[in-house]
């Protein structure tokens, strides 16, 4: 059994002409995870139109991959630090901002960015925008991230109810996004993991179309590898108005173990991934 099971899927939906969502999955048996002693899961939802949002989301994922490849400090850490989120998000924000400055036609381009780094028995969560991270623990589904949208802020201030926010004209207007300004302040949190913890990272194309109660039922009553497909199917059934992306991962054991480079356990994990036809692609 793998210490972590992970499955992901992204779909363009029925209305959009291109997919501005992106995701990155580096499970424990991948080379980068083994060399750094950390696994990684991330989702980004670009904005800007004319495929510029697609560029922003890809830049965020590319910066994350570059940071993981070049960062030598993670291997020696026994505990994760929120300063890692500040560094990763700062690098990605600068890359997107600098791109918009050198390409004026992309002004206003940006992306959401939700990231989970996992080492030993800790998960480090970083977040900007209105993509979401959920945790299912002890039959309770909890939203871990805070939506950085105008409508969500009005709910927090008591000016709107949750029901009013769902139909508010400015419900999709982001008050914080990657690359829109020169500097960014990400939210961050460290979570102590428990065996059986199940996480979802998703774009708003999932939760705007699929109620949380329905998401929880799927998590509790569906095989893990079927959940991303089920969520996207439900999103499309509800209209498919937006791109939809879901990354699902469950911890079978804690702390997370990383197989040896040439170990039989790693071979089994790779074969299982291939055999099930669920090989994770990082877009």
Q: What is the mean pLDDT of residues 109-126?
A: 97
With a pLDDT cut of 90, the percent of the chain lying above it is: 75
pLDDT of residue 35: 83
Q: Using one digit for the tens of pLDDT, what is the confidence trace for 44-63?
A: 999 987 679 999 999 999 99
18 token code pair: 């291109």
Quick one: pLDDT band at residue 264, thresholds 50, 70, 90? very low
CATH number at residue 55: 3.60.40.10
- Partnered with residue 271 across adjacent β-strands are none
In a domain, 251, yes or no: yes
The alpha carbon torsion through 186, 254, 25, 211 (nearest 10 deg) reads -70
Quick one: pLDDT band at residue 30, thresholds 50, 70, 90? confident
In a domain, 157, yes or no: no
pLDDT at 34 over 90: no
The larger pLDDT score, comparing residue 38 to residue 72, is at 38
In a domain, 167, yes or no: no
pLDDT of residue 259: 72
pLDDT at 282 over 60: no
pLDDT at 279 over 50: no
- Partnered with residue 117 across adjacent β-strands are 40, 124
pTM: 0.92
In a domain, 160, yes or no: no
Three-class secondary structure assignment of 65-94: HHHHHHCCCCCCCCCCCCHHHHHHHHHHHH
In a domain, 159, yes or no: no
Kindly list the distances between the CA atom of residue 79 and the CA atoms of 84, 176, 255, in Å, as whole numbers in the listed order.
11, 28, 12
In a domain, 107, yes or no: yes
In a domain, 280, yes or no: no
CA angle centred on 76, ends 74 and 82, rounded to 5° = 45
pLDDT of residue 273: 59
- Partnered with residue 111 across adjacent β-strands are 46, 178
pLDDT at 192 over 50: yes
22: containing domain: 4-145+174-275
pLDDT at 271 over 90: no
- The answer to whether 81 touches 214, Cβ cutoff 8 Å, is no
Q: Using one digit for the tens of pLDDT, what is the confidence trace for 206-236?
A: 999 999 999 999 999 889 999 999 999 999 9
CB atoms within 10 A of CB 98: 13
* Total number of domains in the chain: 1
In a domain, 185, yes or no: yes
């Amino acid at each position: 059994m793998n210490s972590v099971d992970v499955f992901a899927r992204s779909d363009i939906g029925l209305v959009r002409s291109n997919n501005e969502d992106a995701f990155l999955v580096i499970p424990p048996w991948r080379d980068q995870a083994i060399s750094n002693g950390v696994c990684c899961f991330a989702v980004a939802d670009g904005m800007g139109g004319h495929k510029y949002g697609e560029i922003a989301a890809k830049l965020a994922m590319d910066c994350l991959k570059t940071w993981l490849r070049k960062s030598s400090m993670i291997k020696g850490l026994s505990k994760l630090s929120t300063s890692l989120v500040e560094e990763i998000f700062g690098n990605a924000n600068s890359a997107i901002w600098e791109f918009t400055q050198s390409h004026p036609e992309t002004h206003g381009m940006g992306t959401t960015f939700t990231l989970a780094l996992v080492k030993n028995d800790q998960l480090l969560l970083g977040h900007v925008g209105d993509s979401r991270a959920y945790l299912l623990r002890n039959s309770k589904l909890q939203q871990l991230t805070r939506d950085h949208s105008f409508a969500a802020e009005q709910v927090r201030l008591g000016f709107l109810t949750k029901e009013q926010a769902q139909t508010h004209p400015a419900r999709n207007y982001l008050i914080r996004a990657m690359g829109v300004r020169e500097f960014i302040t990400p939210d961050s949190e460290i979570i102590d993991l428990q065996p059986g913890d199940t996480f979802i990272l998703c774009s708003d194309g999932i939760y705007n179309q699929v109620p949380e109660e329905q998401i929880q039922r799927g998590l509790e009553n569906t095989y893990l590898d079927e959940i991303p497909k089920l969520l996207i199917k439900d999103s499309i059934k509800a209209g498919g108005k937006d791109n939809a992306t879901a990354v699902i991962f469950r911890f079978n054991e804690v702390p997370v173990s990383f197989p040896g480079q040439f170990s039989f356990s790693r071979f089994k994990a790779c074969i299982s991934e291939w055999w099930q036809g669920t090989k994770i692609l990082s877009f």
